[in-house]
Amino acid sequence: MKQIIDQIVSSRNLTLEQLVGLLSSNNQEGVRYLFDQAHQLTRHIYGNKIFIRGLIEISNHCKNDCLYCGIRRSRTDVHRYRLTEEEILQCCQQGYELGFRTFVLQGGEDPWYTDERMCHIVASIHQQFPDCAITLSLGERSRQSYQRLFDAGADRYLLRHETADRIHYQKLHPAEMSFDNRIRCLKDLKEIGYQVGCGFMVGSPYQTFETLYQDLQFIRSLQPQMVGIGPFIPASGTPFGDRPTGSVDTTLRLLAIIRLIHPHVLLPATTALGTLHPQGREMGILAGANVIMPNLSPARLRANYSIYDNKLSTGAEAAETVDDTRRRLTPLGVDIPADRGDYTPSQTSDSQ
């Protein structure tokens, strides 16, 4: 296994057979070597820094009906809310005081946030917090809309591709959603100049080694600055509410593999990982993750942003406790700076 891992490190690529081998292996020593190589590579590039992002869930209204998602439009038992500009700015202020220098505005696809409203919000944050990065995660919009938001001051955009396999994509989404549009969005975002994040769930229904392999090859071709992956967690009241939960261990292995094939990527240890395992975030960091995204939303509304069951928004996932998180991570020898935590491009080309 070590030989295969060394080969992946030097070629920044792997074969389908190697992926299957890495994800199915029972060789604990080999898996530890995989995690260590990924963690060391992260240190080599980003030092001992773990970057924090303040996550503000601005709206749980959504016009989409993704089969896996707990805030899909056909769930009628969800208490829907949206934040006003003033509330969002208050979250940023609180986050700023806690040391956050990136704000992630995430929401369902909520048409209430027109370009006009959203650009106003982005411009206000940009003006009040000029030393902070603004990340948007608002789903699919037109190229013109992405351009306007970028011009208003947004720096980064997160849009998970969900799966790079067209047939798999159709099984996870209703007929009116299109794989081509998803990919179009990611390409537009990149061309406009955003730092872009794609990503997928681990263990989503109908996922196979082949679809995962396509996800990795998609990452190699898109060369995103960020990749968000986390285990699938069933959400009750959705068509996939009875499906099995994704594996924490497989998620960790994939985090490590993504680090090895795309070394400079900003890679969060996601909330879903923390939800399934009390040490999920620490384990993620030791497997190559270098970002955490604590929740900065108004505490009274957090429970409503229930994209899956039992989603954590307290404890280590709460922005208020970031000082505790700092302390908890000290034994790992890592530090959380009050820093934007931008992507560091490689000197040569990452894609080779």
Binding-site ranges for ligand 5AD (CB under 6 A):
68-69, 160, 162, 201, 230, 232-233, 235, 272, 307-308
Query: φ, ψ for residue 146 (rounded to 5)?
Result: -60, -40
Q: Which is nearer to ligand 5AD, 19 or 235 (CB)?
A: 235
Q: How far is the CB of 160 from ligand 5AD (least distance, A)?
A: 4
Rounded distance between C-alpha atoms, residue 129 and residue 109, angstroms: 25
Q: How far is the CB of 169 from ligand 5AD (least distance, A)?
A: 12
User: Tokens 């935590």 belong to which residue?
Assistant: 341
Q: Which is nearer to ligand 5AD, 150 or 232 (CB)?
A: 232
Q: How far is the CB of 172 from ligand 5AD (least distance, A)?
A: 9
Q: How far is the CB of 131 from ligand 5AD (least distance, A)?
A: 27
Rounded distance between C-alpha atoms, residue 327 and residue 309, angstroms: 28
| The Cα angle at residue 242 between residues 237 and 248, in degrees rounded to 5 | 110
Q: Which is nearer to ligand 5AD, 195 or 270 (CB)?
A: 270
Q: How far is the CB of 135 from ligand 5AD (least distance, A)?
A: 13
| Residue 81 contacts residue 59 (beta carbons within 8 Å) | yes
Exposed, middle or buried by CB within 10 Å (0-12, 13-18, 19+), for 349? exposed
**Alpha carbon of 190 to those of 59, 121, 159, 234, 269: distances in Å?**
25, 22, 11, 31, 23
Q: Which is nearer to ligand 5AD, 66 or 133 (CB)?
A: 66
Q: Which is nearer to ligand 5AD, 5 or 258 (CB)?
A: 258
Rounded distance between C-alpha atoms, residue 127 and residue 345, angstroms: 27
